[in-house]
Amino acid sequence: MKFSIIAIAAAAAPGAMADFWISYMSREVPGVPSVVGGNNHGAIFHKEPEISCDQHKKSMIYSDTDDVSGKHVGMRTVPGNRVASPYFRDPLDIVEFNTGAGKPGHHTIYKDRGFAMFDVDGRQTGQCYENRSKVFYLRCPDGGNFVNLEGSSMFFCESELNVTYN
């Protein structure tokens, strides 16, 4: 079987498929007030399907909000129904997120389009699959305190977008 150098290089290139997971996370530090702006509840982006303390106790959470247009960073769900833990939001008919200057940027996932993901110019930027199967409840040590992480996966997305995993 012959392998071309070009095919091997293309497979290893940074622009190759950068698939990612979107999960909903609630992060609480018992006895410590919530962060101003409420960014302890919302969407996180991660590479692997499982959530671990080491990776996520300080992850960037894109907070729930009603407006993610322009410079408004966060995640908006439509219809936006609040439900009990671990799902927090259901159904996921429209999920719009804006990560600002961080990657992947501003995109919307539409249920009525088969969970395809589009940028603000209407170009399809990925294909997502609703996946609520990854549920997590973690109590993570953090410098003498504990951080409680709770939530579930929302989507697995196939895309060439580069995603920042904080």
Give per-residue pLDDT as tens, 61-104. Answer: 999 899 999 999 999 999 989 999 999 999 999 999 999 988 89
Strands of the chain (E only): list them. 20-28, 41-46, 62-63, 74-78, 94-98, 106-110, 116-119, 124-130, 135-142, 145-159
For the chain, give every domain's residue range. 17-159
pLDDT in tens, 112-147: 999 999 999 999 999 999 999 999 999 999 888 888
pLDDT digits (tens, 9 = 90+) for 40-64: 889 999 999 999 998 888 788 999 8
Residue 164 has pLDDT above 80, yes or no: no
pTM: 0.84
